Amino acid sequence: SQQGEEDPQALSIQEGENATMNCSYKTSINNLQWYRQNSGRGLVHLILIRSNEREKHSGRLRVTLDTSKKSSSLLITASRAADTASYFCATGLQGGFKTIFGAGTRLFVKA
């Protein structure tokens, strides 16, 4: 089964609104990452948060991590039509090598 599970599976918002996606995972992690995928393409790394960090910002992105609840959230502020994509959380497991992905959240931003 997948290590990470995103919620919601799909999200539709208006341009300018904020988009929040959540991720839950099952085992202890070394880090948690968020990736973006445009339709039919490879994934692009957005942000990494380490297990000893609680919050991280990058431009319009804000990621939080709660290791006690084994959950993370990705907030995209002031969304744009170009943010339309699938977003995946991925967990770097303790012990190092593997990165396990969830099923993703499909975000649609209406202009």
Residues that bind another protein (CB under 8 A): 2, 30-31, 33, 35, 40-45, 48, 88, 90, 92, 96-104
**Which residue, 12 or 38, is less far from another protein as judged by CB?**
38
Contacts of 66 (CB under 8 A, 6+ apart): 54, 72
Nearest distance from residue 89's CB to another protein, in Å?
A: 10
DSSP letters along 71-109, please? Answer: EEEEEE-S--GGG-EEEEEEEEETTSS-EEE---EEEEE
Nearer to another protein, 9 or 14 (CB): 9
Minimum Å gap between C-beta 45 and another protein is 5
